[in-house]
Amino acid sequence: MPSIHWFRNDLRLDDNPALQEALEDGEVLPVFVLDPRLWGEDRWGHVKTGPFRTQFRWESLQDLRSELEARGGALLIREGLPEEVLPALMKEHGCGRVTAQAEHTPEELEVERLVIRAVEAVGGACAWVEGLTLYHPEDLPMPLGSLPDIFTQFRKKMEKGSEVREPLPAPLKVPSPKGVASDNLPSLQGFLERHGMLMPVADSRAVLPFQGGASAARARLKHYFWDSKRLAVYKKTRNGLVGADYSSKFSPWLANGCISARRIASEVRRFEREVESNDSTYWLVFELIWRDYFRFVAMKYGAKMFHRKALKPDSPNRGTQRHPFEAWKEGRTQDAFVNANMRELSQTGFMSNRGRQNVASYLVHDLGIDWRLGASWFEHMLLDHDPASNTGNWIYVAGVGNDPRPNRSFNTKRQAEMYDANGTYQTLWSTHAMELDIR
């Protein structure tokens, strides 16, 4: 009996344990569902998936379809609610179960709950398989309820008491049931217009012309690790603001699942064996452990992590005034460094880690705005939005998350002097530069 593999944020064949599980049943019907909830408005009025991430997803799906077809498979792409689309496809193709990569955050878990109910109603079963994190959740050396609330304690326990599992190779064949052919994606422009959005326009100042898909992810890794060997200096350059190679730029591919964290870590190990092992090679994996940490925090705290006061119920309320918030979004605050970063975000869908920390701190601590508005704008704009990493970082900076130091904020003027001493970044993203660009 064939299985459905429901692709979600795992748009790859390499190191995809949920897909491997489906293949154990023989034939697999690979399906991606364009769920209208992902393009709906959130409570602050932002469409959840903005134009940059939608385009990246389209490119990722096109690449996935080619990779599946090269292995004898096909990719069905359907618009609708997964809890309606999946049971209907099960009946049509006589499938016994649905596999998918497990998610861990409230909105995604709610969809899983609805899908389980609908699939069971037609006599099928669901298997959610872990594949998103570097460390397998079963390999945590402590019960989830005892996950340390301080990152350093967590990292030390993981490094001492756990091991990252080996990534799985991509399957050689993904046989789909006879007569099944791939679907085309709807036109991107038409889809965006239906959701009240315009096509993104490429900006020559972008750190990278990000291209979705597992092939592009592999090419980026090849460039950053093997061709330029920038991995060997990552720790020295990672706080940069301008250019393609100050950091890995893996995040959009990781967030869409075009590459797995385990595959990246295994390539780091190979680099350490074949080229060089130093504090930079260590630090890239260290950052992937941060990514894991926020996932496990989301698993531990559930919906609480997404509440206004998140993990710190005694913290003060902050406002939701639209005027200063809109100025922040549009890069029209009193702070030139914040403005430059916000313009980069709205023109390209990306912002450096240094920039994100500064603009988040400025919104919450200088403008006194509720972190959830900023996180909502990031969700709309970012190519690499990930609910656990985004929320985990926002609540950390806002002082309602896992930062043990109370009331910490960034001095954005001082940060600009340290990280943009010559003003190169601020000039690149000044309104003047934007006007020249528009003309």
Q: Is 331 left (phi over 0), alpha (psi -120 to 50) or beta?
A: left
- Nearer to ligand FAD by Cβ, of 71 and 223: the residue is 223
Closest contact distance (angstroms) between CB of 84 and ligand FAD is: 29
Side-chain-facing half-sphere of 198: CA atoms under 13 Å: 5
Out of 6, 7, 135, 294, the only residue in the binding site for ligand FAD (CB under 6 A) is 294
CA distance 159 to 141: 10
Query: Which residues have CB under 8 Å from 394's CB, separation 6+?
Result: 360, 371, 372, 374, 375, 378, 401
d(CA 191, CA 354): 33
Site string for ligand FAD, 379-408 (x = CB under 6 A): ---x-xxx--xx--xx--x-----------
Binding map of ligand FAD across residues 333-352, x = CB under 6 A, - = no contact: -------------------x
Q: Does 291 bind ligand FAD (CB under 6 A)?
A: yes
Residues 6+ apart with CB under 8 A from 119: 86, 87, 90, 97, 98, 125, 126
**In the block, residue with structure tokens 């618009």:** 79
For residues 146, 151, 152, 158, the Cα torsion angle rounded to the nearest 10 degrees is: 60
CB of 390 to ligand FAD, least distance (A): 3
> Binding marks (x or -) toward ligand FAD, 8..27, rule CB under 6 A?
--------------------
356 touching ligand FAD, by CB under 6 A? yes
Helices (H), 316-402: 322-329, 336-348, 353-361, 371-381, 387-398
Instruction: Pick the stretch among 3-11, 24-32, 122-130, 355-363 that binds ligand FAD (CB under 6 A).
Output: 355-363
Indicate whether 64 belongs to the interface with ligand FAD (CB under 6 A). no
The DSSP output letter for 130 is -
CB nearer ligand FAD, residue 58 or residue 234:
234
Of 114 and 244, nearer to ligand FAD (C-beta) is 244
> For ligand FAD, what does the binding mask look like between residues 180 and 219, x meaning CB under 6 A?
----------------------------------------
Spatial separation of the C-alpha atoms in residues 7 and 268, rounded to whole Å: 27
Yes or no: say if 305 and 392 are a contact pair by the CB < 8 Å rule: yes
Q: How far apart are CA 28 and CA 5, in angstroms?
A: 6
Q: Distance of CA 116 to CAs 105, 122, 142, 158, Å?
A: 16, 10, 29, 32
Amino acid at 209: P
Q: Tell me 162's DSSP state.
A: -
Number of residues that bind ligand FAD (CB under 6 A): 29
CB nearer to ligand FAD: give 346 or 352.
Answer: 352
Closer residue to ligand FAD, CB minimum distance, 394 or 429? 394
Least distance CB 92 / ligand FAD (angstroms): 36
Q: Which residues pair with 29 in a beta bridge?
A: 4
Out of 49, 256, 348, 357, the only residue in the binding site for ligand FAD (CB under 6 A) is 357
**Minimum distance from residue 42 beta carbon to ligand FAD (Å):** 14
Angstrom distances, CA of residue 63 to CA of 109, 214, 222, 432:
27, 7, 18, 38
Q: Which of positions 238-257 make contact with ligand FAD (CB under 6 A)?
A: 238, 247-251, 254-255
3-state secondary structure of 331: coil
How far apart are CB 319 and ligand FAD at their closest, in Å?
A: 18
CB of 364 to ligand FAD, least distance (A): 10
Q: Is 287 in the site for ligand FAD (CB under 6 A)?
A: yes
333 near 362, Cβ under 8 Å? yes
290 binds ligand FAD (CB under 6 A): yes
Which residue among 215, 277, 315, 353 contacts ligand FAD (CB under 6 A)?
353
At closest approach, how far in Å is the CB of 223 from ligand FAD?
A: 13
In the bound state with ligand FAD, the residue whose beta carbon lies nearer, of 21 and 386, is: 386
Smallest gap from residue 32 Cβ to ligand FAD (A): 21
Which position among 7, 378, 410, 425 is part of the footprint of ligand FAD (CB under 6 A)? 378
Distance CA 117, CA 115 (A): 5
Count of helices and strands (H, E) across the chain: 19, 5
Q: Binding residues for ligand FAD, per CB under 6 A?
A: 238, 247-251, 254-255, 284, 287-288, 290-291, 294, 352-353, 356-357, 360, 378, 382, 384-386, 389-390, 393-394, 397
